[in-house]
């Protein structure tokens, strides 16, 4: 049996990263909520709170890919180019 060691290592690293991120959400998710509220307002705060509630409720992080991608988009300041957006205000 032949195993691609790079792929195996990458799989374990990805699993570890997901575990660390999930643990962070469970322990410090309030920071995510505060940051999204500060950068995006009440609607973004509600979205971040829903993600956190889902994780605390047992939803796996990989199942929240779309929601987390949206939050990453906000937190990575991709709205700064559109000065007319609600988020830029």
Judge whether 36 and 71 are in contact, CB under 8 Å. yes
Higher pLDDT, 87 or 29: 29
**pLDDT digits over 13-69, tens only?**
989 998 998 999 999 999 999 999 998 899 999 999 999 999 999 998 889 999 999
**DSSP label at 85?**
S
Within 8 A by CB and 6+ apart from 51, the residues are: 25, 32, 64, 67, 68, 71
| 13, containing H or E segment | helix 5-40
Whether pTM > 0.95 for this model: the answer is no
Judge whether 27 and 43 are in contact, CB under 8 Å. no
Q: Residue 11 and residue 59: Cα distance in Å, rounded?
A: 20
Res 76: pLDDT: 85
Res 4: pLDDT: 83
């Amino acid at each position: 049996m032949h195993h691609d060691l790079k792929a195996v290592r990458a799989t374990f690293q990805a699993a570890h990263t997901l575990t660390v991120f999930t643990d962070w959400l469970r322990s410090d998710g309030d920071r995510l909520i505060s940051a999204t509220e500060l950068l995006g307002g009440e609607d973004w705060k509600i979205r971040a709170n829903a993600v956190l509630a889902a994780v605390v409720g047992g939803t796996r992080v990989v199942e929240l890919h779309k929601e987390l991608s949206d939050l990453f988009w906000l937190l990575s300041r991709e709205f700064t180019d559109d000065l007319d957006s609600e988020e830029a205000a």
